[in-house]
Every structure is written in structure tokens, then in C-alpha cells.
Structure 1
């Protein structure tokens, strides 16, 4: 069953359906299930695909004024039109005034848009309908867009802390309960998997203990760092430096951490690119983890690294686009090297922020064979 619903807000449609359909529940973006009202079943058997998009009535931006000749139709002034467009776009698009970035609600979170074109297309579609036969000039669209952005008329929700976003809901860390994700409580990121209470990861814990040569204190610290990444603890103003020769597990740990936070929520870079390419910091916007590789091959300054780990404002500058504000990196940094860092910073800033963990145990051939055998077994079991 496919429903194409048009409404002023997404929540209006979903709220109405939840009152009319028993056990109405979201299972993924745009997909819902409920008990069938025809068959009067007790368990959800009805599948619904719901496409919601911004909409206004035809000619809704047109105002008719009286003249000596009878009447004349004109477009509403931009300030009044912006109020109408705001209601139509609410729950679908939001704007971060600090970074000057538009976001789109995708069901699990507010997705940052790299370019304004996607938002412009949605706005233009609305204006074509709202202006009717009168049409509009590009300046009319630009004026409304400026009012929406500069007037902070469609702000991102203030989410605060204490919750983690999973694809099946927001986890309240205090009550350990899931809350439905809506445009009014969604964050700007989401972990790429479902939350399942009571799960554990014994194989990962066993590997960590083995990788640090049985040092349980180091394992506890690494698990604490993982938790800090998940919770976005940039207030710690620390970064993790993994040091050791090749084949000791540094790369494995960084890949593990990247998989946990989600590849879409992480960015991989190098100190050279970070410090010398002015567009590189834009890649950090809204990311939850920065992975820095080949750090021992760089021998210059680390001013950008200190800014990222020190909660300083960072320029948001993208190639072929006008600079659009600044942002504070919301999470933590991890880097790896075979040797000590050769940077030119001789202040206490680096040592104060860096926490070094030594990886110096190489896996034996027998261990590698056992891991490979286990990986093949698990792959076969999943087929």
C-alpha cells in the first residue's frame, strides 16, 4: 500500500495516522507498519510507504488588491511570503545560522547539504505553485531565501546531551529507553545501526586485550575513549595517538572505531592536508571522528590540529563556494604513527592534548590464521 501524502508538516500526517491505525510504527525512512483496519488483525500486517514533501496551495502567495479598474493580482511581499514558506518547509528543512548550512530531515537525522542547490530546488517548486500564473523573478526567490536563513526562521532543534541517535530511535542514556525520532528532536547525525539492549562484544574485547599484550588498564582506557567518541566529548580537549610499528593493530583499532561511529560520520585525513589545505577543514563539519594517518611523515606546524582539539571555531570554506561561516569540531581525533611526531610545535599545547597508547605486539601467524578462519566461518553463516 503506497500513500502519497501532502501536508504542511510531516508530524501532522504521522500524528493523524497514529490515531487512526492501531500499532502504527515506523520501520525505516518512509516505511511504516500497522494493523489492518479491514481485517481487524492483532499484529501489524499492513505496510505503508509514505512520501511526504513540502506543499502549499496554488496561488497562496498571490494577493488581490482593489484598483479603480476593479482589481489587480500581485505577489505578497517577500517578508510575508517567507512566513508562509516557513510553515511549508518546517519539518523538512532546517538551517544552521553559524555555519550557514542547510539541512534536510531524512527520518533518522538532519542531514547537512553540501550545496544550496537541493534546498533551492525545493523552494523554487513551492514558489511556482504559490505564485500561480503570476510567476516570479529570481530576486523574489533570493529575497525569501535570505529571510529564511538570516532571520533564523527554520533553526535546527536544540537537542542537548544525554541521548544517542540510532536508526530505530533516540536512546535516552539515563532511562535506557528509545524515543521516536521526529524533526523536533532529531540530531544532525545518526549511528548506522539499531540499538539492541543487552548486546555485548566479547570478540572485540578479547582482541583489544590481546593487542595491548594483556594490559587491562589500557583496554579500559581504549573503551573509555570509544565511549567519549560516541558521546562527542570534545570538551575533554584531547586526542588519541597510537604509536607502534606496522602490524601491531593500530590500523585495526582505527577501522573498528570508524565502523562503530559509522563511515558517514567519520573523516580520514593527514596532518599535511589538514594544516596546508584550507579546504580540508570543511570535511570535518558535522563529523563525529577525525582519523589522521601518516602523521609521522609531517614535520610542520599543527595550528589547525590544536584548534580542532581545543574547541576553537574553524573556517567552513569549500572549494568553488563562498566561505559560509565557522563551526566547532564536535568530537575527537585519533591518529597513528610508526615513530614519534616530528612537528615544529614546541609549546605545551601538543603534550597537554595528546594521549599516547603504545601498540607493540605483533600478531603471530597462528593468530592470523585463527582470525581468518573465524571470519570465513561467520561470512558463511551469514549467507
Structure 2
């Protein structure tokens, strides 16, 4: 047992308390708060409810921790705070986290953390002055709220005084006959000894008017002792730690010392002569001129955006008017200048604005200079420079730069990515169907976001794909790359709102996730990508105008741009996610793994040459992805009735023309057949010309006039019979190149045999003689007891029946290999199968004549061919039987059971090698999953 003496100026009491701390208290103070053990033992004790009741002088309802430093003042921290009747009568709505003895509720002092070994730590003034933090050579003590914060500072060589509360640096007015308040004894003692003070209250206190007023009153009283006064309250973000102890724990003591160093440079302590002369304050003009001379390198008023900016050591941070006034107030107070009303400070601030106003905020080229946490990267040389106000940056990537460059071991960006970001490489390859050119486009987008390239290129990013294809994951990765403070979310319909522009204008990344169909109002999207100034207004501020230099990213499940999209297509960096990842492969753990590679991913993206980034973002030259072009056109056909009509009915013919009236009549009839809504005749010509000129590149398609009416030159309507061999527009886009050996092609002999077989089966009325794996989900799952003993595995592993596994000769070569970093999420499966485009419709017409394709949407043969090819491609991309089940509309897929069965039998009859691959896939399962 340990005997503790608890006393005040009027009485003394002794308590016997347990020692050491209870395990729960040890865990909270040592492990959770990361306070030094010897300092905790010297200042904290565990006490029971009974001892707490004795201490407080009223019934305690919880055991807790007794806090006592070098002095008589104590405090009690209950394990379970409670709200008493006295608290309620005093107007408190929350249970107090700390309690003081009732006996001397009006008589209190600050708490000085006891040094574990030096009992004279706070008593030897000369030694304390040597230990104290020096500001321009003057010893200063930190003042905070709460003993734990004071221990965090003092134990790290920064002597810190703990107040019981922000209001309790001054005595209670109740104890003075005249109702006046004075410094508490400890503060008064050190003020008389000549110590300066640095207030360090919680980061969120700057938004609390009561706390700001309490700090002002404390500084006002301290100033009477002619000592230097400073404040670091609010000098770090709440996310970095609420109190100084949290900040030290998260960022480290050296980072906290840097905060002190910055504030030391910012506040110039007045000399004794200046303090004496301060009885008559300088005029607002005199003070503003002096402050402008001193702080010109660190203070500036951003004229375009009508806001103050303060250099925080890395970037020019935006300060609201109120935040800047608080900074100005602290600066003036530290100089001991007397003034009577706030209008004095307001006049100084207005004069400062005129003297420090920057009309146009010019930063270094963000394409060639990139601000990281550890410095500014000069892209051309790879050198890291120290942060400087001269860069004029207003944001930075909140991670250190780690150089990665192309080398003999990794001569291309894709190899550099595979070597340094194996998880991202593996995820991207699956999301992009093992197409490295598509993965490189993702990498180019990362580069463009980091280097603000989309402003230069006047483009935005559009990610489209069904749920579960990875577009949301990629969008969230972009957000994490730029950091929480540099991105925000919005909605397309709100982009043009004044207050929304004010919120977005300084962001490096603005995302519009999961957008719905828009009806032709795209002016706001163009404004964000046009490079022009945008007018906006912040709440309680005058209108402003500025440019948006960041990147706009829009995501949707299907195409959302309808109607007149002129000017929009050339601004769009389209990336299509069409490989739906099975649900068992989707996990929040994947994003955690990807997030761990962000530093390396940033460096890999920056290793891409600028010319290649430009080509891949624009999709031109060797970086063009025909599949994306074709998918973009098909998406347009889904939502744009003019595109859908032109796709089927328009043929490019430089020597022909059609009357607009004939075109509109044909277009209206087509809309009537398909159920789409027709646009007005006046809009048809402009939409058609936009498609022909901008999308297809048919520059010879123009509008003209003849005596009989308006004509469109360079096109003609499709004619039945004679134009059957003419391709639809969608077929003009080059198909993706084949990556499959020719051995998988079906021979003409196989086709003839298949034709005979289907005719035979049709005569018998039985086409499907194999079990339908799409109908009975559990029919083909392999039971554990059916496996050979030497192949029995753990439940989470995969079993492939040996006799059904595809041979090496009949399987596809892997498109690429990559390190397996997520084995529990991405199990080994059969390789995706692809077939050369020339064989895609082999036998389709023969089979369709015998058994018509069960198209649920249309009787159009071309539509049926497209759907059957889409199913076949899905079969090839499937890795397990679960993937096959997911295609069924009853299981959330896109196709009916009849369609899936039709395509399965077609593949079986005309593509036997491919069908064997499909059989093998149907035998591969992820055991342990339940299917309903």
C-alpha cells in the first residue's frame, strides 16, 4: 500500500492507495496513451470506489485513477463517468470525465507532473530555466489542459503545466469579494520568475468560442507580468490528434518540436523596451506595415479566391477569415499591444489584405514539380528539394517519395509495376481481362491525377462498368493516392452550384460516383475541363472566380450521357470495366493490400514518359484500345436513339446524300420499332453530324441544301438485300486481337459433322443430352469423399478432377504471369479461353435455323448474334462453376437460362475444344461456399 497526502491551502488528508496500477489502468496509460511507465507511476494511482468517495467528499459511482503531481492539487478520473444531481443542477449535460474534491471546489491550482527521480524539478528555478523550451533564448513553459498531456510534454523534455480545465488557469471569481479573477498559484509563481508561456490546448478548441475567450482572458492576465506569450492551439489538424499527447503519439516528438519551431519563427517576441513603449498602441496602419514586412514570406491574401493563405512549412494553407483573425489576435497579443475594441484588429487585417494581396496565384508547374511529404520532387532530375514558400503549392501528397525508375531489370512501366506493386498488378490484370494496354491506361490515369495532366489536356475520367467489376475500387485508390484533404465527392447535377464550386475549386480530385443518366446538360462538366475561370461564391463571402486545376472522375454502371454530347466525347478519358469479378473474390481486404502499395504505385506511375501518358489518356496512336472504342459506341447506342438508328441504318458513302426529311422518317420508324423516344427533327441533323464528324471521323459528312430541302452529304440509308454485306457501324471498330493458338480453331470437317449431328438431334427433338450445369447448381460439385486420397485438401482449396482437367495442348497460354499476393482471394483456376474472331459465328446460322435463338428482347438476328457472342465470351472468362452460375438471370446475371443453354449446346456442337474447356470449368468449385 502507498500513503498519499492530499491537501490544499486549508486542510490536509491522507489516503492509502493500491500500488502498482491495476492491469486495466496500466493498459490504458502505458499501451493506449503511450505514456512512460516511470512517469505514470510517479503521478497516477488506482483507487477503489470507497477511496474515491473519501477523496471527493461525495459518493463515487466508479473506481478509477487518482492523478496528483508535484503539489497539493489532485484530480480523479473515473473508469465509468457518471452524471450526478449536482452536475445536472450546474447545467452539465454530459458526465464529467474528471472530478475534483468537493471540499475545495472553489480553491484549485494547476498540476505539475512529478519527475520520477528529480524531486526538485519544479522547485529549482534556474535548472528549470535551462530545461525549458527556448523561444529566441527566453525559457517558456507549455500550458495545456489535463495531466496526461502535461506528462507527454514534460517526459520529452518540454516542461508542461496542466490546468484542470481551459477556464481554470484563473481563480474563481466567487472567492474574491470584488469578483475578480487572478492567476492560479503555480502560474503566478512561474510568471513572477520570468518564464514565458506557450498555450497548447486541443486542436478543436479554435472552433469553440468559450475556449477561445478563456484563452484570451488567460493571456490577458499573464501579459501583466511582462513575459513572452505564444499559442500553438489549433496548429495541427484534429485528424492528427486532438490533444498534444495524441499528436506526439501519432506524429512523434520531433514533429511536435517542429510545430514549436514554426511558431517560434512566426511570433517575434518584443523586447523589454518595446513592451514598455506598448502602453500607447501603434496605429492600425503602423502595425499592418510592420507585420507585412515581417510575415510577407508566410502570409498572403489570395485575390482570385478571396481567402487568406499561410505557409505551414510545406504548403500555403487556406485560412478562413475567422481563422486568420485568430492568428492575428495571437500575434498582436504576444507583442503586448493594448487595444480597446476588436475593430482595431479588423482595421489591421483589412490593411494587411491590401498590402499582402496576390492578384494571381502562380505555382510552379505541377507537371514538373510535385510536392510530397518529404520534399518537392523535380521530375526532370529526380532531385528532392526542401519545401519553400516560393513554390506556392496549396496541396501536397501526404506520403514520402520513394524513387523508382525504369532499368534493365524493369525496362517498361508494366514490368516495373509487376515487380514493385504485385497486388495492384494482379488486381488490374484481372479487372482489365489480362490486357496490359488497359492496365497501362489505368497507370496513365494515376500519373495524370498526380501531375494535374487532365487540366492541361482538358479532359475528365469516365469509369463505366457493372457493379463488381472494379471501377469503384480504382476510384477509391485514386482518392487515397491524393489524400483525404485533397479530394471530395460531388454529383453531376450539383457541379455548377456556386457553393459546390467553392468546395471543389482547390481539390486535386473530385469524384462523382455511381451517377445516373443525364439529359443533355453537360455545360458544368465542360467548365471543369475547359481550363477557364469559374465564378462561384462561398457562404458569407463575396463572389470569386478561379480555375479548377484538378481531375474530375465520373463513375456509372452504364452509359449516362444522352442527347447532344457535342464536345464531350473528345474531353472524355473512357475506361471500361467489363470483367465482373466473382463475389467470392471481392473483399475489403483487397483494398487494404492495394493501399499498402500506394507509395510504390505513385513512383511507378511517375516513371511513365509524358508522351506515353498523353497518348494513353487520349487513346490515340499506339495507345488506342479498339475494344474501348467499340464499347464506347455500343454504350452510346444504348442511351442515344440517334446513335442506335445510325448504327443499323447509316452507311458512309462520300458520293451519296440523303434528304433530311427522309432520314427523319426512317429514324422515327426505327424508334417506333425499338420503343425508343425520337428527338425532334431539328436535333436529328446536329446529332447525326456530331456522330459522323467527332465519333466516326467522317469529315466529308456535311449539311447542305437543295431546292427540294436540306440534305446530308456523305451518307446514305441502308438498302435491303443489296447492302446486307455492308457492315454496321459497330463492326467498323477493329475487334480485339486474338491471343489464342490456331489449334483451337474448329476445322470444316468438324463443322460438317456438327451440322449432321444437330439435324439428327433436331429430328429426335433432343438437343441437350448432357447434364445442365446452369440449372442444377450442386449437380456437378465434387464431394470430398469422392476425391482420391492423395488429392483430399483443406476446405478452402480447389479440387479439379484429373480426368476433366484441360490438357496443356488445349488450354490457352497465360496472358501474363504475376506474383501471387492474394492466394486466399484469387485461387488457381483454368485459364480464360478466347477464340479468333474469324470463327466467332461458325455454325450459328445453321443452329439458329433448326432451333431459333431465344432472344428475350428482340427478333433481330444481329441482336441475337450479339447476345450469344456475349454469353460465349462470358463462358471463356469464367474460372469456376460459381462464375457460370452468376451468368443466370435468376442468380443476378444478365441472361436467361434458355439463352445460356442454347449457347452451351451451340459451343458443344461447333467448338468441341472450347466445350471441353467449359466442361472443365464446370467441375471447378470454391468449396465452403453455399449457393441458394
- The TM-score with structure 2 as length reference comes to 0.33
Distance in 2 between residues matched to 1:368 and 1:93, nearest whole Å:
48
Residue 191 (str. 1) matches residue 418 (str. 2)? no
Residue 300 of structure 1 deviates from its aligned partner by 5.7
Residue 261 (str. 1) matches residue 482 (str. 2)? yes
Query: 1:238 — aligned with what?
Result: 459
Structure 2 residue runs without a partner (length 5+): 1-130, 138-250, 406-419, 597-932
SS of the residue 1:31 aligns to: helix
Match of 1:31 among 250, 254, 261: 254
Matches of residues 139-288 of structure 1 in structure 2 within 5 Å? 139-153=343-357, 158-161=363-366, 162-185=368-391, 187-198=393-404, 200-233=420-453, 234-275=455-496, 277-288=497-508
Residue 61 of structure 1 deviates from its aligned partner by 11
Distance in 2 between residues matched to 1:197 and 1:350, nearest whole Å:
37
SS of the residue 2:546 aligns to: strand
Distance in 1 between residues matched to 2:510 and 2:587, nearest whole Å:
31
Distance in 2 between residues matched to 1:258 and 1:369, nearest whole Å:
18
Query: Which one has a larger percent helix, Structure 1 or Structure 2?
Result: 2
Residue 73 of structure 1 deviates from its aligned partner by 4.8
Matches of residues 53-202 of structure 1 in structure 2 within 5 Å? 53=263, 54-56=266-268, 57=270, 73=280, 75-76=282-283, 78=285, 80-113=286-319, 115-130=320-335, 132-133=337-338, 135=339, 137-153=341-357, 158-161=363-366, 162-185=368-391, 187-198=393-404, 200-202=420-422
Contact 2:462 2:573 in 1 (8 A): yes
Q: Structure 1 pair 367/231, CA: closer, same or farther in 2 (3 Å)?
A: same
Residue 148 of structure 1 deviates from its aligned partner by 2.3
Query: 2:218 — aligned with what?
Result: none
Distance in 1 between residues matched to 2:294 and 2:252, nearest whole Å:
20
Residue 63 of structure 1 deviates from its aligned partner by 8.4
Structure 1 residue runs without a partner (length 5+): 8-27, 34-46, 65-71, 379-383
Matches of residues 31-50 of structure 1 in structure 2 within 5 Å? 31=254, 50=260
Distance in 2 between residues matched to 1:100 and 1:190, nearest whole Å:
21
Q: Structure 1 pair 118/49, CA: closer, same or farther in 2 (3 Å)?
A: closer
Instruction: Give me the CA root mean square deviation.
Output: 3.5
SS of the residue 1:283 aligns to: helix
Contact 2:468 2:582 in 1 (8 A): no
Distance in 2 between residues matched to 1:29 and 1:183, nearest whole Å:
24
Residue 213 of structure 1 deviates from its aligned partner by 0.7
Distance in 2 between residues matched to 1:129 and 1:170, nearest whole Å:
33
- The TM-score with structure 1 as length reference comes to 0.75
Q: What does the per-residue CA deviation read over 1:260-318, in whole Å, with 9 as the maximum and x for residues that have no partner?
A: 1112111111112224x431111112211111123224436222221111112123422
Contact 1:62 1:73 in 2 (8 A): no
Contact 1:55 1:126 in 2 (8 A): yes
Query: 1:326 — aligned with what?
Result: 545
Q: Structure 1 pair 315/374, CA: closer, same or farther in 2 (3 Å)?
A: closer
Contact 1:238 1:309 in 2 (8 A): yes
SS of the residue 1:333 aligns to: strand
Distance in 2 between residues matched to 1:102 and 1:292, nearest whole Å:
29
Residue 169 of structure 1 deviates from its aligned partner by 0.9
Residue 353 (str. 1) matches residue 571 (str. 2)? yes
Distance in 2 between residues matched to 1:373 and 1:132, nearest whole Å:
54
Aligned residues: 331
Residue 257 of structure 1 deviates from its aligned partner by 1.0
Residue 341 (str. 1) matches residue 560 (str. 2)? yes
Distance in 2 between residues matched to 1:31 and 1:374, nearest whole Å:
29
Contact 1:302 1:343 in 2 (8 A): no
Structure with greater Cα Rg: 2
Q: Structure 1 pair 157/192, CA: closer, same or farther in 2 (3 Å)?
A: same
Q: Structure 1 pair 90/61, CA: closer, same or farther in 2 (3 Å)?
A: farther
Residue 124 of structure 1 deviates from its aligned partner by 2.2
SS of the residue 1:349 aligns to: coil
SS of the residue 2:512 aligns to: strand
Q: Structure 1 pair 87/151, CA: closer, same or farther in 2 (3 Å)?
A: closer
Query: Which one has a larger percent strand, Structure 1 or Structure 2?
Result: 1
Contact 1:5 1:52 in 2 (8 A): no
Residue 341 of structure 1 deviates from its aligned partner by 1.5
Distance in 1 between residues matched to 2:546 and 2:518, nearest whole Å:
25
4+ residue segments displaced more than 6 Å: 61-64, 154-157
Distance in 2 between residues matched to 1:126 and 1:224, nearest whole Å:
46
Residue 188 of structure 1 deviates from its aligned partner by 0.8
